[in-house]
Amino acid sequence: QVQLAESGGGLVQAGGSLRLSCAVSGYTLSSLDMGWFRQAPGKEREFVSARRRTGGNTYAYYANSVKGRFTMYRDNAKNTMFLQMNSLKPEDTALYYCAASRTSYSDIDKEDRYDSWGQGTQVTVSS
């Protein structure tokens, strides 16, 4: 059973930075594909970023809206995934979820590819 716990959310001014963490327990991070999704009030949950296992490495994918500003990386020793968010904008305000998949799929931007989810951490960006 994969368990995920997000942290690191908060209130930040536009242009600022935050780093979200997703601590993984019950499974080895290096054996998982991982993703970040977000849901703003009144909107559907949307894909933010993912890391997919490719051979012995992982490859990162980003939504166009965050490309160049967000970086997703993992620390296998800590069994933790991170999302570094820079140059934050008010439109980045949302509840951010960490997700894990034990199976590697090519379309990892799809929610139904993930079988474990965290509870979410709130990010609020003020203008």
Write down the pLDDT at residue 70.
Answer: 98
Write down the pLDDT at residue 56.
Answer: 77
Distance CA 72, CA 119 (A): 19
Q: Which H or E run includes 20?
A: strand 18-25
The token pair at 24 is 């993984």
∠ CA 109-57-120, nearest 5°, is 40
pLDDT by position in tens, the chain (length 127):
899 999 999 999 999 999 999 999 999 999 999 999 999 999 999 999 999 988 778 899 999 999 999 999 999 999 999 999 999 999 999 999 999 999 988 899 999 999 999 999 999 999 9
Instruction: Please give the backbone phi and psi of residue 90, each rounded to the nearest 5 degrees, phi first.
Output: -55, -30
Write down the pLDDT at residue 102.
Answer: 95
Write down the pLDDT at residue 77.
Answer: 94
